[in-house]
A and B are shown apart, each in its own frame.
Chain A
């Protein structure tokens, strides 16, 4: 353990003395400060959102860049400079050496995150204090409740993937159940937010009216409200918590008002916001999720550094990070390749495709399968994205923080033993 800490301390000292740390601190602070100069259309709350978003992006960008450059370069540089000759000939196991290096990188990135996070928080607070915003539109972290159950009844006109379409005029309804709705103050409001896909038989219609029936399952009381929704844009409805009197459950029934209007929805199309959490605590949770992403990147870069040269390793890490952010796209792309193949087969060149076809073979084995495999093997960095929570002023659930750390931990659990095995077999010729 002592050796791990000694190597970690040395790694930290190296980044300080070589001024790498200082450079990252300066650049990231410049980027964070620049966020206040971004042009904004809208009220003061929009500016706060822009600053929040820019700060988080800067933290992620510089943190990831620092994690890649430091972790990807340290071991290859030590090998090239033959520094490992004097370290590995001391009673330091190679496993401890890797652990020490990773601990050192975590120290560095942690410190960088602390500086960037503090600067961002100060800037967000400063921006919020300067903005003239309506009450409840400044810095907040609304608590989001996702539906526990969703049911579509009546005429479900289409069902594509996970999107259900229903038609208005009482031909179809969707029922949503919410649970665990607790609130502190009786006077509080709660908000129902819908984000639906909208289609209409009427031409030039961009907004359609929908009915929302709010049912208190405990008292059995209900009320119906009507709002207009646009395609894929959030619309909200605010109600008093008195509606929830005596119950922690809520049932919402939604349907388009008019026949010929269609709404498409998936399980996350409807949410209820009730109560607020501390912005500071939410910001800390956001930083924690981002930190777990950095740890994952450090572990991956360290794995690469055990067998790759410095430039190759940096490219390798950038590739992983880039592809890790587009794993969903990769999966979609592989599905598109599949559709194309089916289409050819069924309609256009069926006779030819019945026999082995080089194009289909190429697409299947050289593109689709590797893409699909990569999308599952690579870490999904989108899991660590917290920007939307701040843009939507939504509280980050604890399970999101734990899930991020859990994901990073599991991935590290796979990468670390691999690093040890590869590094133990590595020769320092």
Chain B
């Protein structure tokens, strides 16, 4: 295994057995994957395809029936390696009686991060996942989206080299989704490796370098996004401000070159873009309103009425 490999599995197999030790489910069948350092790697597949089983095996939560797995060059049972891993589970499982600060402090202590450093990191992460307004509220009062945010924060408390995220955007609103994607991309820029497991294919497509698709525990396909999704026989040209006449000329030219025009249409924005645009506009207008309110407060109602009176007199 070379130094650039973050995760490697060799014929990784997991069979869940029943109480009597009889074979019940083949959850993962001879999986071979190789994730390089600095990659964002997507693990895709329908429900029950073996994605979460793979993650659990990589984290040492369960043990392989056959095969081997290495994380950051070490066995999955190696405890010390876990100090370089950040993990966000599919379900947000935290002590519900703790608040955000206490939760992050607890996980920070498990990494033996010094108190001062811990405090700094907690402040930064709470700010990053936008939970400043609820940092003293017990987690039992959090919405699902807020729990995902605190989950992401705890996964990053140790400044990990490898981050394993199981459905990081589930339960998040489009803004949260976008912010999470931005966080993941920022992590990649810092040279971190991210293993992402998600049902939301558009999210994976947006940020992943490589993906594998699993089905019924078997690897179906693996490769880079470009390799897997690009259609070599089709060319897409985006042109702004082209008249109908010019379009017809382009069509004729393509025909002359023995090409086939499949469709000509005006491209649409994604729903996510539209949503974010509306929310941003609303936010900026409310900020303006706040600005006016502030001005009103500064001048005071009496001053405002005075001004109005002066206006009337004028």
Residues facing B in A69-125 (CB within 8 A) are: 81-83, 85-93
Q: How many Å lie between the Cα of A323 and that of B269 in the bound state?
A: 72
Residues facing B in A326-356 (CB within 8 A) are: none
Given contacts A83-B95, A91-B83, A93-B79, contact A427 B62 (CB under 8 A): yes
Residue in A3, A88, A89 with the greatest tally of chain B CB atoms within 10 Å? A89
Asked whether B95 lies within 8 Å of A14 as measured between CB atoms, the reply is: yes
Asked whether A88 lies within 8 Å of B95 as measured between CB atoms, the reply is: no
Interface string of B48-77 (1 = CB under 8 A from A): 000000001001111100000000000000
Majority secondary structure, A binding face: helix
Cross-interface CB contact of B106 among A6, A81, A429, cutoff 8 Å: A6
Interface string of B127-155 (1 = CB under 8 A from A): 00000000000000000000000000010
Residue in A3, A86, A428 with the greatest tally of chain B CB atoms within 10 Å? A86
Cross-interface CB contact of A10 among B59, B106, B112, cutoff 8 Å: B106
Q: How many Å lie between the Cα of A18 and that of B107 in the bound state?
A: 20
| Nearest B residue to A95, CB-CB | B79
Asked whether A89 lies within 8 Å of B59 as measured between CB atoms, the reply is: yes
Q: How many Å lie between the Cα of A81 and that of B89 in the bound state?
A: 12
Asked whether B16 lies within 8 Å of A89 as measured between CB atoms, the reply is: no
A93 to chain B, nearest CB (A): 5
| Nearest B residue to A2, CB-CB | B112
Asked whether B154 lies within 8 Å of A86 as measured between CB atoms, the reply is: yes
Q: How many Å lie between the Cα of A90 and that of B113 in the bound state?
A: 12
Interface string of B17-49 (1 = CB under 8 A from A): 000000000000000000000000000000000
Cross-interface CB contact of A18 among B61, B91, B97, cutoff 8 Å: B97
Asked whether B62 lies within 8 Å of A90 as measured between CB atoms, the reply is: no
| Nearest B residue to A87, CB-CB | B110
B84 to chain A, nearest CB (A): 9
Contacts of B82 in A (CB 8 A): 89-92
Q: How many Å lie between the Cα of A122 and that of B110 in the bound state?
A: 41
| Nearest B residue to A3, CB-CB | B110
Q: Is A17 an interface residue (CB 8 A)?
A: yes
Asked whether A82 lies within 8 Å of B91 as measured between CB atoms, the reply is: yes
Q: Is B80 an interface residue (CB 8 A)?
A: yes
Given contacts A17-B97, A86-B154, contact A427 B61 (CB under 8 A): yes
Asked whether B93 lies within 8 Å of A82 as measured between CB atoms, the reply is: yes
Contacts of A428 in B (CB 8 A): 56, 61-62
Given contacts A82-B89, A83-B95, A89-B61, contact A2 B79 (CB under 8 A): no
A146 to chain B, nearest CB (A): 51
Q: Is B94 an interface residue (CB 8 A)?
A: yes
| Nearest B residue to A424, CB-CB | B77
Given contacts A82-B91, A85-B61, A428-B61, contact A90 B110 (CB under 8 A): yes
Residue in B83, B87, B98, B106 with the greatest tally of chain A CB atoms within 10 Å? B106
Interface string of A303-332 (1 = CB under 8 A from B): 000000000000000000000000000000
Q: How many Å lie between the Cα of A234 and that of B80 in the bound state?
A: 64
Contacts of B109 in A (CB 8 A): 2-3, 6
Asked whether A85 lies within 8 Å of B110 as measured between CB atoms, the reply is: no
B164 to chain A, nearest CB (A): 8
Cross-interface CB contact of A91 among B62, B63, B110, cutoff 8 Å: B110
Q: How many Å lie between the Cα of A250 and that of B85 in the bound state?
A: 73
Residue in B56, B59, B109 with the greatest tally of chain A CB atoms within 10 Å? B109
| Nearest A residue to B53, CB-CB | A429
Contacts of B107 in A (CB 8 A): 86, 90
| Nearest B residue to A88, CB-CB | B61
Q: How many Å lie between the Cα of A6 and that of B95 in the bound state?
A: 14
Cross-interface CB contact of B79 among A6, A13, A82, A92, cutoff 8 Å: A92
Interface string of A355-374 (1 = CB under 8 A from B): 00000000000000000000
Contacts of A3 in B (CB 8 A): 109-110, 112
Contacts of A93 in B (CB 8 A): 79
- The list of the 4 closest CB pairs from A to B, nearest first, reads A82-B93, A17-B97, A91-B83, A427-B62
19 A-B pairs besides A3-B109, A14-B97, A429-B56 with CB distance below 8 A are A6-B106, A6-B110, A14-B95, A17-B97, A18-B97, A83-B94, A85-B89, A85-B93, A86-B87, A86-B89, A86-B94, A86-B154, A89-B59, A89-B82, A90-B82, A90-B83, A91-B112, A425-B63, A428-B62
Instruction: Show 23 residue pairs from A and B whose CB-CB distance is below 8 angstroms, ordered by the A residue.
Output: A3-B109, A6-B106, A10-B95, A10-B106, A81-B93, A85-B87, A85-B89, A86-B87, A86-B89, A88-B61, A89-B60, A89-B61, A89-B85, A90-B82, A90-B107, A91-B80, A91-B82, A91-B110, A92-B82, A428-B56, A428-B61, A429-B56, A429-B62
